[in-house]
Structure 1
Amino acid sequence: MEEHVSGYLPPMRSRGPEFRLRRLTHDPAGAGDGAISPDGARFVASSRRAGSLNLWFYEIATDQWHQGTRGAGDDIEAQWSPDSSCLAFTSSRGGHKAVWLYRSRDGRISQLTHADHEEEYPQWSPDGTQIAFAGGPWGQRHFYVVPAKGGRPRPVTATPGRAGACSYLPDGRALVCHSYDTGAGAISVLPLNGSAPTQITDGAWDYKPAVSRAHPVVAFSRSFEGRSVIWVQRLDGTGTGRALVTEAADDRWPNWTADGQNLFFHRLVDRGVGVWVLDRRTGAVRHVVGAEEQPRYGSLSPDGTKLVYAAEDSGRSVVKVRDLSGGPPRLLPLGEAAFPTWSPDGRSIAYLARHPARPRWEIATYDLAGGESRVWTRGIAWLKGMHGPLDFSPDGTRIVFKSDTEPFEADLCALDVRTGEVLKLTEDPWWDEAPSWTPDGSGVVFMSTRGGDWTWGFYRLDIGTGEITTLAGPDYVERNNPRLLPDGTLLCSLVASGAEELHEQRPDGLARVLSGAGPSVRYPVPSRDGSLVVFTRTFRTVEYWLAENVWAPDSPIADLAGDRPDRTDSPQPPWSMGPVRSPVDTRRR
């Protein structure tokens, strides 16, 4: 390992300026994946400010945004060349993801890679002559290097796998990359001379590494049990590193300034601002839960008189019941719980439960009359990553849910509450999620990536035959959480005009946005007869932060610069987090 971390400047410790975290700006239309310029004067990020997902630049001194790229397709994952004269970015403007270049002085763009498979996550070599990227169909990807002036890419990895993103070491002789070949996320040093890679992290989900040019450390996103934190670790194996920020945030995509003194990242902010109930017969919308509870997901009782819902309480998810005729909500004694749903007879609820000593979420039920809970999935080792909506079958005998299988893959499962047996309903290399039963109980409606190229569609699984049919898509239109109503209408949330809104697709093919529900609609859940729909509205934005003077004595990572390499303690994070699962935002297409 010693030869791979050569070329660094001598470790420097800031004695004057103090460490501080500064929020630079936020963008409700942002997609994250920002990168700060080497001189720290500006950053580039993806945004839907003009409709399409394009590159935008933010000038830190003047607090001004200006648009870079234009046109259809997604422009994402931009990275600056060492001299800031050019950016490499990922774009789907040519039909699928490829690496493109943006010239800073005149805004000229050109396509760099031209394979018939997806290529993404470009990163410049220290001398600006090469660009590394990941390419290939999912599960069969290589890390590649291509000349920045154009040419034939050459694979760096000997065998394909679940390749992620890379960062160069300062001497340019090796890449520091993340991949999901271990079944989670891990970061390795990958020499460019053909030598075998060396794994340097063994966390839960470690991804998006960024190597400092001034110190032998790598920053990356780490997810223990859901939310990501910015983690910094030495490259020579001394010490396990630590988090830059220890609070309940979702921080991702670290990026160093050239002097190695400042670390840039983005924070995903996503919280509930209320629960509403829509009467589909009259169009009336009723506000039933306020923003102060930070609600997440709700379900109506079969008689339509009560609402069970998840809400935030001191950084964790709890479940409450509210009588729609009035009065305060009742907190159910479930501990940390999420995604509650009523049984068809109204006597119990199904929900996700998590015990403090066992971080994995489990499928549980709660008897409302007897006050007794039962956890059904404890001890079933192959079930994992079950965080997501549940649904009772119309006869109340089965609960459908999703379970992660491999990185970026998930299957649908059904729990029989009569026997405790869990069966897989799907078993293939796609991401299936948000399942719900058809009104007659003969099938399950769900969303899935089985359209390919990480495009999402809605599908129906026939329980009797196993046949899967397409209901909507797959395409690059962002649709979420499908529900089939008794009259054959397909209900979901859909991104229209840049905002997520309530959408109906009728059996005759006609579709409409239910504008009365308003924007930022999440998790629409209909009543059993389809006359009422409960939904959550959310506040969602991307914040861009700068950690300044990270080697100052008061910085949480100061000793990683090299002064005390013998320190190996790694305190457990004090915040509450969700389940271990792929750190992919499943609402991002």
Structure 2
Amino acid sequence: MVHERKTAFLAGVWRVDPETNTLLRDGEERHVEPKVMKVLLTLASQQNHVVSKEDLITAVWPDTFVGDDVLTRCISILRKITEDDPHAPHFIQTVPKVGYRLVAPVSEFAEPEPMEVLVEQPAAPLEARPAAESIVPPAGAARWPRARWIAGAAAALSLVAATGYGVHARREATGPSGSLRTVQFTSYDGEQTQPAFSPDGAHIAFVWAKHGSETRQIYVKRIGEENLTRLAKDGGEQFSPVWSPDGRQIAYLGRSSDGLGLYITGTAPGSGASRIYIPQQPSHWEQGALSWSPDGKSLIFPDHDGSQPHSSLFQLDLATRNVRSITSPPSGWEGDLNPAYSPDGTKIAFTRASETAVRDIYWISVGNGAVHQLTSDRMNIDSLTWSADGRSILFSSNRGGKYALWKMALNGGKPERLPVGSEDAFGPAVGPRPGQLAYAQGSAFWSILRLRGAEGKSAAVPERVLSSTQQDSAPSLSPDGRFFAIQSLRSGSQEIWISSIEGKSLRQLTFLGGPLTGSPAWSNHGDSLLFDSRPDGHSHIFSVPVGGGQPKQLTSGNANDIVPRWSHDDQKIYFRSNRGGRWQLWMIPAAGGEPQPVTTGDGIEPQESPDGRWLYYTRGNEDGLWRTPVGGGNEVQVSKAPAAGFWGYWQVTPLGIFYLDQSHTSPEIRILNPETRESSLYATLQQTPPPYAGISVVAQGHIVLMTDEHDAERHITLVERQR
């Protein structure tokens, strides 16, 4: 039996702190997830001795069936942090076909004297105060949606070492379903997601976003072989592949220069793609948004009906091309998503979202249209599929903490966690062969970057203030630039945290313990923070003192209120809401009162000008920046940037409007004069930041904070029954 160390120690030049799951070196702090830390601790307990893969897996994942790919991911993360070369290791050595050995010297860590502690003590108003009391919600909610979703996102990605099919993962799980093995089906750079089995179970279609490319394409790979076939070279983004029942065609959703579209293409080499339908606004394509009926006659997908803000499920008759709505979500809800036909075609499973990140599973009878609710978690269901026998639904959810695969019988009962896909697993797909299952698995490194730009500089050198394998994003600077708030998954659920500008005194501010909590906004007086959270299945606006305390709920009801921002004098609070039947900007007095609509059209990320004359804002699915007089008037577009999906990448300051411009070869932060419409360069970025996370700028313009996501990898794991 292998035992891991429990106390802080030194591993080479790194201080390892098991209590906080951090590695520290020269003031640099790197936060890792608990399983990665446990791998390191187990290796440290046997320093300079080889620990077999079997012993590591048993120690870190007791009583859980996982493949070697999960262990490989943890080793890869440790090597990334410590800048270790597997070919000339100075931290962890791989012993082929056996296991791993910690070669970094291990020694005890002596705590420094109190005067030498490198932890900054915050000054007023951030002096030490009692921790914030937690709100006890009536039910759970979900994580702040990942950067690729409109409310923000999602999702964890993965670092998995590149290995061929059939090399790894031969641990067995013997039970009623027999012995299973997991293998790494894809190991390419970037993200491979949304696996879909061919009807004969011989091929898998999947979506691949390569490093350095912002477009996603569909590829097909035969199980047991390495050759790839690109599905259709239409030049646009492709999502949600689904096979026809006869295996001769694949349908998918796409976005190109021609706009949105539902496409069908043949699976034979050289087949062209035909756009057969133009959706109004398909929702959440990256989570499985298309299903082909078993009889081959229809396709179903989520779309919007006219100006309705919520999504419904639509059925397309392939013979007549007629489309009809088949579900009606409650008013004020985000809507219906993730449709999937049952194997016999008599039922359709889907998720119904009260808010983007709060979803439960429902199913509808094709025969009589009766809708049945299956789960009542009020957590996030990322994606779902049917079991091969049609008696259960498999789904990815954060109902147990980290996203994992679950199974729930159609006749009720409690969801059961699957013995595979136990961490960071998304997009399950069931194949026709016994025990055949595929899913995507992954994570990424997240950092808060500080930019110091100057006029005339061609590039700003970013400094990593915080770094973690758990998502840190959406920074909001205090008015004096000494502190910043973020939304973070460090505690296991997304909460609001506060740090000094150097990243040395990080502390948790909210303790809601489940509901997705995010979008922090620091008041101009420096004493309070706004944020949104989902304690009852809908998103509401809250405020909390920056020193800690009981959060105060400012909005309520069955609508969704998100992304709150203060007026220039902190007397009003603006936010995005669908309480009027569609997305608009609304306002409430900071002292309390009834919300009032501000814009007639969509608006998000509202910011007043420093003189209080103008209200600037972006829109959820459109390029550009708009403004309207604070007292009411015409809504006018003042800039074509930022791009759609990057609605948080701008800020009004006395110097002008800082914004992200992606129209150049390299993305830039520029400063716009809203009166002359002229702009100047502030900084050139090394890479495009993740969508939705946004920037924060101090009034003097000498500090810009932004989110960085790097080394993002997501790969497909294949599960098969042992023969």
| TM-score normalised per structure 2 | 0.60
Question: Structure 1's 282 and 382: CA in aligned 2 closer, same or farther, altered over 3 A?
Answer: farther
User: In 2, Cα distance between the equivalents of 1:437 and 1:27?
Assistant: 42
SS at match of 1:480: coil
Assess if the C-alpha contact under 8 Å between 2:658 and 2:671 holds in 1: yes
User: In 2, Cα distance between the equivalents of 1:226 and 1:459?
Assistant: 39
User: In 1, Cα distance between the equivalents of 2:488 and 2:362?
Assistant: 38
The one of 328, 332, 356 equivalent to 2:504 is: 328
CA offset digits 1:417-457 (Å, max 9, x no partner)? 4x234634447785x433333222233333323xxxx4454
Q: Which residue of 2 aligns with 1:143?
A: 314
Q: Which residue of 2 aligns with 1:344?
A: 524
User: In 1, Cα distance between the equivalents of 2:474 and 2:663?
Assistant: 19
User: Does structure 1 residue 398 correspond to structure 2 residue 572?
Assistant: yes
The one of 536, 548, 551 equivalent to 2:707 is: 536
Q: Which residue of 1 aligns with 2:636?
A: 469
Question: Structure 1's 512 and 222: CA in aligned 2 closer, same or farther, altered over 3 A?
Answer: farther
User: Does structure 1 residue 103 correspond to structure 2 residue 241?
Assistant: no
The one of 190, 193, 204 equivalent to 1:42 is: 204
Q: Which residue of 2 aligns with 1:436?
A: 607
Gaps in structure 1 of 5+ consecutive residues? 1-11, 553-589
User: Does structure 1 residue 88 correspond to structure 2 residue 273?
Assistant: no
Give the drift of 1:90. Answer: 1.3
Q: Which residue of 2 aligns with 1:212?
A: 387
Assess if the C-alpha contact under 8 Å between 2:241 and 2:253 holds in 1: yes
User: Does structure 1 residue 175 correspond to structure 2 residue 348?
Assistant: yes
The one of 504, 518, 523 equivalent to 2:686 is: 518
Q: Which residue of 2 aligns with 1:484?
A: 652
The one of 190, 194, 197 equivalent to 2:364 is: 190
Assess if the C-alpha contact under 8 Å between 2:588 and 2:596 holds in 1: no
Tell me the amino acid that sits aligned with residue 524 of structure 2: P
Q: Which residue of 2 aligns with 1:459?
A: 626
User: In 2, Cα distance between the equivalents of 1:16 and 1:225?
Assistant: 25
Assess if the C-alpha contact under 8 Å between 1:460 and 1:469 holds in 2: yes
Percent identity of the aligned residues?
Answer: 16
Q: Which residue of 1 aligns with 2:179?
A: 17
Assess if the C-alpha contact under 8 Å between 1:52 and 1:71 holds in 2: no
SS at match of 1:543: strand
Residues 242-321 of structure 1 correspond to what in structure 2 (within 5 A)? Answer: 242-244=416-418, 251-259=425-433, 261-267=435-441, 269=443, 271-281=445-455, 283=457, 284-285=460-461, 287=463, 289-292=465-468, 295-309=472-486, 311-316=488-493, 317=495, 319-321=497-499
Give the drift of 1:464. Answer: 0.8
CA offset digits 1:94-145 (Å, max 9, x no partner)? 7343321121112413325245746784322324454344555455855224
Give the drift of 1:249. Answer: 6.0
Question: Structure 1's 386 and 114: CA in aligned 2 closer, same or farther, altered over 3 A?
Answer: closer
CA offset digits 1:50-98 (Å, max 9, x no partner)? 6544323355645565533223433221112234332111123473433
Give the drift of 1:467. Answer: 4.0
Give the drift of 1:211. Answer: 1.9
Assess if the C-alpha contact under 8 Å between 2:488 and 2:496 holds in 1: yes
Computed over aligned residues only, the root mean square deviation of the Cα atoms, in angstroms, reads 4.6
User: In 1, Cα distance between the equivalents of 2:531 and 2:343?
Assistant: 46
Assess if the C-alpha contact under 8 Å between 2:641 and 2:659 holds in 1: no
User: In 2, Cα distance between the equivalents of 1:207 and 1:248?
Assistant: 14
Question: Structure 1's 251 and 194: CA in aligned 2 closer, same or farther, altered over 3 A?
Answer: same
Question: Structure 1's 28 and 420: CA in aligned 2 closer, same or farther, altered over 3 A?
Answer: farther
Tell me the amino acid that sits aligned with residue 123 of structure 1: S
User: Does structure 1 residue 420 correspond to structure 2 residue 592?
Assistant: yes
Tell me the amino acid that sits aligned with residue 530 of structure 1: G
SS at match of 1:530: coil
Q: Which residue of 2 aligns with 1:582?
A: none
Give the drift of 1:506. Answer: 5.0
Assess if the C-alpha contact under 8 Å between 1:334 and 1:353 holds in 2: no
User: In 2, Cα distance between the equivalents of 1:186 and 1:462?
Assistant: 41
Gaps in structure 2 of 5+ consecutive residues? 1-173
Question: Structure 1's 61 and 509: CA in aligned 2 closer, same or farther, altered over 3 A?
Answer: farther
Q: Which residue of 1 aligns with 2:717?
A: 546
Assess if the C-alpha contact under 8 Å between 2:382 and 2:396 holds in 1: yes
Tell me the amino acid that sits aligned with residue 433 of structure 1: I
Give the drift of 1:538. Answer: 1.9
Question: Structure 1's 257 and 286: CA in aligned 2 closer, same or farther, altered over 3 A?
Answer: closer
Compare 333-342 and 261-270 and name the one that shifted more.
333-342
User: In 2, Cα distance between the equivalents of 1:478 and 1:106?
Assistant: 34
Give the drift of 1:15. Answer: 5.7
Assess if the C-alpha contact under 8 Å between 2:598 and 2:632 holds in 1: no
Tell me the amino acid that sits aligned with residue 262 of structure 1: Q
Assess if the C-alpha contact under 8 Å between 2:538 and 2:559 holds in 1: no
SS at match of 1:529: coil
Question: Structure 1's 238 and 411: CA in aligned 2 closer, same or farther, altered over 3 A?
Answer: same
Tell me the amino acid that sits aligned with residue 289 of structure 1: V
Give the drift of 1:491. Answer: 1.2
Assess if the C-alpha contact under 8 Å between 1:229 and 1:252 holds in 2: yes
SS at match of 1:259: coil
SS at match of 2:684: helix
Tell me the amino acid that sits aligned with residue 70 of structure 1: K
Residues 359-370 of structure 1 correspond to what in structure 2 (within 5 A)? Answer: 363-366=542-545
Tell me the amino acid that sits aligned with residue 592 of structure 2: G
The one of 545, 549, 557 equivalent to 1:373 is: 549
Assess if the C-alpha contact under 8 Å between 1:433 and 1:447 holds in 2: yes
User: In 2, Cα distance between the equivalents of 1:382 and 1:551?
Assistant: 52
Compare 171-180 and 210-219 and name the one that shifted more.
171-180
CA offset digits 1:364-414 (Å, max 9, x no partner)? 2325xxx46353316x432876564x543332333434456599x655444
Q: Which residue of 2 aligns with 1:69?
A: 232
User: In 1, Cα distance between the equivalents of 2:721 and 2:531?
Assistant: 39
Q: Which residue of 1 aligns with 2:219?
A: 56
User: In 1, Cα distance between the equivalents of 2:663 and 2:202?
Assistant: 34
User: Does structure 1 residue 153 correspond to structure 2 residue 153?
Assistant: no
User: In 2, Cα distance between the equivalents of 1:44 and 1:36?
Assistant: 9
Q: Which residue of 2 aligns with 1:558?
A: none
Q: Which residue of 2 aligns with 1:583?
A: none
Report the number of matched residues.
521
Give the drift of 1:465. Answer: 0.7
Assess if the C-alpha contact under 8 Å between 1:335 and 1:355 holds in 2: no
User: In 2, Cα distance between the equivalents of 1:405 and 1:23?
Assistant: 45
SS at match of 1:131: strand
Question: Structure 1's 104 and 506: CA in aligned 2 closer, same or farther, altered over 3 A?
Answer: farther
Tell me the amino acid that sits aligned with residue 106 of structure 1: P
User: In 2, Cα distance between the equivalents of 1:160 and 1:536?
Assistant: 34
User: In 2, Cα distance between the equivalents of 1:473 and 1:411?
Assistant: 20
Assess if the C-alpha contact under 8 Å between 2:264 and 2:276 holds in 1: no
More strand by share: 1
Assess if the C-alpha contact under 8 Å between 1:46 and 1:77 holds in 2: no
